[in-house]
């Protein structure tokens, strides 16, 4: 079964063809980073306009030029319907519906968070779903940070989530305060090289328990990153960086020792918060996964690997090209039969605030 996947939930325009839910025949990802960088974050109007302009070409590239198959070889069209930016999602689902009608193939609507989790099952060497369930997945991206117990395909239990900013958002906002470029995750990771992780002890993503609004979830498994960003802001108010550096969106060679150590300390606070909650979330599971754009972070990967060894579970990470937003994870998940199909899918609208797991559908 060959599925064409379409992903436009945020600022990546992506299309992919995946065979049998596993074999990625093509995965084209057009990043809009350069368009949003001057604003220090994603501008929804720019994102959706750019999806409108680029998506037809990206789809054609994925199907005609890179997959080794033709339009007639496609068996279904799958598209992300949420969560994400509504105007961006709309471009994807409208194109998906149009293409499914034109090709006379079934349409499948996919949850972006479930697709991120599925990213670890893409590729010939990836584990088989049934061999590793149940497992705990840390979903860490620009818009989401949550812990999910995956009991089987389509069976997710939300264990914890951020009560304010997502981890990726904390990276992006921290980078902006430090005068580093957007997106902030890779910029902070780069700047932190050679920096001292104990230069400043930033808060570890936790507020007092009684203050956390966890919506019934275990407070020990929830995250809070807004205090971290505020702590960096106050630090910089008291000890401003040299003006030129603070404004310049400095390339790496100009990053001072102080910025490098601030970046390292800030990154450490985010990583420790994530790793600590993962340690608490794992109970009788034998596998732990980290997915989403932030799971590209090398410090997070190495601390997760240490944790998994110390608690005796196996760590599963996606291949790097499937960590950040991409359509292969969408097509892959649809290829297993998951998602919402057919007439019901055709009648659906975008769901910008879609969650994952029990009580969140």
Please work out the total of residues on this chain that contact ligand KG4, with binding judged by CB under 6 A. Answer: 19
Closest distance to ligand KG4 from the beta carbon of 171 (Å):
5
Would you count residue 189 as binding Zn ion (CB under 5 A)?
A: no
Would you count residue 171 as binding ligand KG4 (CB under 6 A)?
A: yes
Q: Which is nearer to Zn ion, 268 or 325 (CB)?
A: 325
Judged by beta carbon distances under 5 to 8 A according to partner kind, the member of ligand KG4, Zn ion, none in contact with residue 114 is none
Calculate the alpha carbon distances from 8 to 13, 29, 88, 321, 348 in Å.
5, 10, 6, 16, 16
Cβ-based neighbours of 33, under 8 Å, separated by 6 or more? 11, 182, 183
Would you count residue 8 as binding Zn ion (CB under 5 A)?
A: no
Choose the stretch contacting Zn ion; rule: CB under 5 A; options: 223-231, 266-274, 317-325, 350-358. Answer: 317-325
Calculate the alpha carbon distances from 318 to 58, 74, 235, 256, 361 in Å.
23, 25, 35, 33, 25
Would you count residue 13 as binding ligand KG4 (CB under 6 A)?
A: no
d(CA 27, CA 5): 9
Task: Give the residue, chosen from 5, 21, 184, 195, that forms a contact with ligand KG4 under the rule CB under 6 A.
Answer: 184
Closest distance to ligand KG4 from the beta carbon of 331 (Å):
16
Choose the stretch contacting ligand KG4; rule: CB under 6 A; options: 14-22, 62-70, 185-193, 194-202. Answer: 185-193
Would you count residue 26 as binding Zn ion (CB under 5 A)?
A: no
If one counts every other C-beta atom within 10 angstroms of the C-beta of residue 224, the result is 24
Would you count residue 205 as binding ligand KG4 (CB under 6 A)?
A: no
Task: Give the residue, chosen from 141, 162, 176, 267, that forms a contact with Zn ion under the rule CB under 5 A.
Answer: 141
Half-sphere exposure (Cβ direction) of 139: Cα atoms closer than 13 Å: 28
Half-sphere exposure (Cβ direction) of 201: Cα atoms closer than 13 Å: 0
Q: Which alpha helices (DSSP H) does the chain contain, by range? A: 33-36, 44-60, 86-103, 112-118, 129-132, 167-177, 184-191, 226-238, 243-247, 257-281, 298-311, 328-335, 342-346
Would you count residue 141 as binding ligand KG4 (CB under 6 A)?
A: yes
Half-sphere exposure (Cβ direction) of 266: Cα atoms closer than 13 Å: 38
Q: Which is nearer to ligand KG4, 82 or 292 (CB)?
A: 292
Would you count residue 165 as binding Zn ion (CB under 5 A)?
A: no
For Zn ion, the binding residues (CB under 5 A) are: 141, 325
For ligand KG4, the binding residues (CB under 6 A) are: 10, 141-143, 168, 171-172, 183-186, 189, 292-294, 296-297, 324-325
């Amino acid at each position: 079964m060959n599925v064409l996947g379409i992903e436009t939930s945020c600022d990546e325009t992506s299309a992919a063809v995946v065979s049998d839910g596993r074999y990625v025949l093509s995965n084209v990802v057009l990043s809009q980073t350069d368009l949003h960088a001057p604003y220090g974050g994603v501008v929804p109007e720019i994102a959706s306009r750019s999806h409108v302009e680029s998506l037809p070409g990206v789809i054609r590239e994925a199907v005609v030029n890179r997959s080794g198959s033709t339009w007639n070889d496609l068996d279904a069209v799958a598209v992300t319907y949420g969560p994400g930016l509504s105007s961006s999602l709309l471009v994807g689902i409208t194109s998906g519906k149009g293409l499914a009608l034109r090709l006379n193939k079934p349409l499948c609507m996919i949850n972006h968070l479930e697709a991120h989790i599925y990213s670890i099952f893409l590729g010939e060497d990836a584990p088989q779903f049934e061999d590793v369930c149940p497992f705990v997945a840390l979903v860490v991206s620009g818009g989401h940070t949550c812990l999910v117990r995956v009991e089987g395909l389509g069976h997710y239990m939300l264990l914890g989530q951020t009560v304010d900013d997502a981890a990726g958002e904390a990276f992006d906002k921290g980078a902006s305060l430090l005068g580093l470029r957007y997106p902030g995750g890779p910029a902070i990771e780069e700047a932190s090289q050679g920096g001292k992780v104990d230069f400043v002890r930033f808060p570890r993503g936790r507020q007092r328990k009684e203050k956390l609004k966890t919506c019934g979830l275990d407070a020990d498994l929830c995250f809070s990153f807004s205090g971290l960003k505020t702590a960096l802001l106050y630090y910089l108010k008291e000890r401003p960086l040299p003006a030129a550096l603070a404004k310049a969106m400095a390339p790496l060679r100009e990053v001072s020792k102080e910025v490098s150590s601030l970046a390292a300390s800030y990154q450490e606070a985010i990583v420790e918060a994530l790793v600590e909650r993962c340690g608490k979330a794992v109970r009788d599971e034998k596998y732990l996964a980290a997915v989403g754009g932030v799971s590209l972070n090398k410090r997070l990967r190495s601390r997760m690997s240490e944790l998994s060894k110390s608690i005796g579970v196996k760590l599963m990470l996606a291949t790097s090209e499937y960590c950040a937003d991409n359509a292969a994870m969408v097509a892959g998940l649809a290829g297993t039969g998951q998602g919402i199909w057919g007439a019901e899918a055709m009648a659906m609208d975008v769901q910008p605030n879609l969650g994952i797991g029990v009580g969140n559908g």
